[in-house]
Amino acid sequence: MDSAQFREAAHSAIDEIIQYYDTIADRPVLPSISPGYLKPLIPNGPPQDGEDWPTIQKDIDSIIKPGLTHWQSPKFMAFFPCNSSYPGMLGELYSGAFNAAAFNWICSPATTELETVVMDWIAKLLGLPECYLSDGEGGGIIQGTASEVVLTAVVAARERLIRRILEREGFGDEESEEKIDRAAELRGKMVALGGEHAHSSTQKAAIIAGTRFRTVPAPRSTGFSVTGSALRQKIEECKAKGLLPFYFTVTIGSTATCAVDNLEELAAVARENPDIWFHVDAAYAGSALICPENQGLCPPLSDFDSFNFNLHKWLLVNFDCSAFFIKKRKDLIDTYSITPTYLRNQFTESGLVTDYRDWQIPLGRRFRSLKVWFVLRTYGVNGLRAFIRNHVKLGEYFNGLLDQRKDIFTVVTPARFALTTFHINPQYLVSPTIGSSPANKADPSHEAYLNDFTNSADAQYREDANQITKQVYEKVNEKGEFFLTGTVVCGVYIIRVVSATLSAEEKWLKRCFDVLVQTVEEVKKSRAT
């Protein structure tokens, strides 16, 4: 493909992408193909001789698009959003053009330096404490996903505590057999902690790091948040068993319900336990911190060791782009720096430059700061705040719709960061099978429902609610028009609705609500017959 062919191909690709975005709302969000659909549509191997772009591009339409789940669709209300944007795509294009495995400064200084600058921009935009800025001992780095960030923090935490204990025990700098054996023994006692509703990445990181893992309860009574006393109790339990707690994930915006742990209380626990690394995972909700009305959450972050959120979720930077801020970059470098001779150079040795490879697991790095820079500048602070606030308002709108049909829906967690969770009231469908429970109440309040649901001795009620909610959820997704997520929190099956794509609009939430009501009626009818 020469320059002229590339220009023509790229123009045609741009047209196709624009057409895709302009019509995205017209398609069902979920594809209707079956597992294994693609293989029969494609030859067994690459062609012997090259093909031209028009031949290739045709197949995108006929083979790829039918198998896409449309995350940019306004009907995508599952998981959390994964927003793209035109300036983000331009960033990806330039990143592909200026292609480099930029593992250290000299491998492409602009890649390192722009990243440092835009990470500082973001730290300030979010109102993070100053300790996370690059001009002190901390700084920011772009990694791929929150899972990678959490693993990076867990391993650095494990090794930081090992180093500290060995030093306290009088081991010197050299790597004696005895010291290695002692480190191995200590690692075997180490336990990572995460809240009951923390993302599964903490557990996965503990598996990879080869440490134990324990969850800290976050019951419905605390709004699914980890409290200081719950964490303190778990730490004591671990210590009583001779284990070494070394890491805890603080959650801002849990996956299931967008719950926020009790930051003030946890900050106090952090101050009491300087050997434990506190990492804040705000993967989705962190983007909302760009709005001053949410920045009340930020001051306690200065007592924690690190923080991350994903710009690829709610801040219009296409996947992948997870911003990881660290209070003391030395805590990463001490674990991740290995310098074979082929990576040595005068700039690294001068200590004047940042080699981000020593802050992360992989060696090479993409030029991801370009897309961040393009998005921040194209939207501006006001544009991005308006984007977030619009979704928050849409979430409240949807919550309001549910409240209008309290006979059918019980809101489990009200709209927060654009996410509302609810379950179906079983008595709306199957009242005869229910005994003494809420079904008998004439106009049950939200609280009464909740209390009944969690405390009621009527196991049948709970089972019915879970079963029916799951059935409605699966039926909605099967229809393919909307994509929602169902999950279980503290024994309650809930449906999650979060509408936060670039194309989100009130009318789609209304339509989704209507589909939910209609599906409940269908399930009701099918159960009656």
Binding positions for a second copy, 430-489, rule CB under 8 A = 474, 485-488
Q: Which is nearer to a second copy, 274 or 364 (CB)?
A: 364
CB of residue 339 to a second copy, shortest distance in Å: 8
Residues 176-235 close enough to bind a second copy by CB under 8 A? 180-181, 184-185, 187-189, 200-201, 203-204, 207-212
Q: Which of 431, 422, 449, 392 is nearest to 516 (CA)?
A: 422
Beta-carbon contacts of 291 under 8 Å, excluding residues fewer than 6 positions away, are 385, 388, 389
Number of residues that bind a second copy (CB under 8 A): 148
Answer for which of 75, 83, 285, 325 binds a second copy (CB under 8 A) is: 83
How far CA 380 is from CA of 85, 92, 161, 383, 428, in Å, comes to 14, 19, 41, 5, 47
Residue 510 in tokens: 């209304």
Q: Give the Cβ contact number of residue 477 at 10 Å.
A: 17
CB of residue 161 to a second copy, shortest distance in Å: 12
> Applying CB under 8 A, does 79 fall inside the site for a second copy?
yes
Stretch of 111-119, 223-231, 411-419, 459-467 contacting a second copy, by CB under 8 A: 111-119
CB of residue 2 to a second copy, shortest distance in Å: 8
> Applying CB under 8 A, does 239 fall inside the site for a second copy?
no
Answer for which of 54, 58, 96, 393 binds a second copy (CB under 8 A) is: 96
With contact defined as beta carbons under 8 Å apart, do 201 and 247 qualify?
no
Dihedral of the CA atoms 93, 97, 103, 109 (nearest 10)? -100
> Applying CB under 8 A, does 45 fall inside the site for a second copy?
yes
Residues 406-435 close enough to bind a second copy by CB under 8 A? none
With contact defined as beta carbons under 8 Å apart, do 308 and 282 qualify?
yes
SS3 174: coil
With contact defined as beta carbons under 8 Å apart, do 464 and 426 qualify?
yes
> Applying CB under 8 A, does 382 fall inside the site for a second copy?
yes
> Applying CB under 8 A, does 292 fall inside the site for a second copy?
no
Distance of alpha carbon 3 from alpha carbon 210, whole angstroms: 50
Q: Which of 426, 435, 401, 405 is nearest to 415 (CA)?
A: 401
Residues 331-370 close enough to bind a second copy by CB under 8 A? 335-336, 338, 340-343, 346-347, 350, 352-353, 361-364, 366, 370
Answer for which of 126, 131, 139, 147 binds a second copy (CB under 8 A) is: 147
CB of residue 110 to a second copy, shortest distance in Å: 3
SS3 60: helix
Stretch of 216-224, 330-338, 454-462, 510-518 contacting a second copy, by CB under 8 A: 330-338
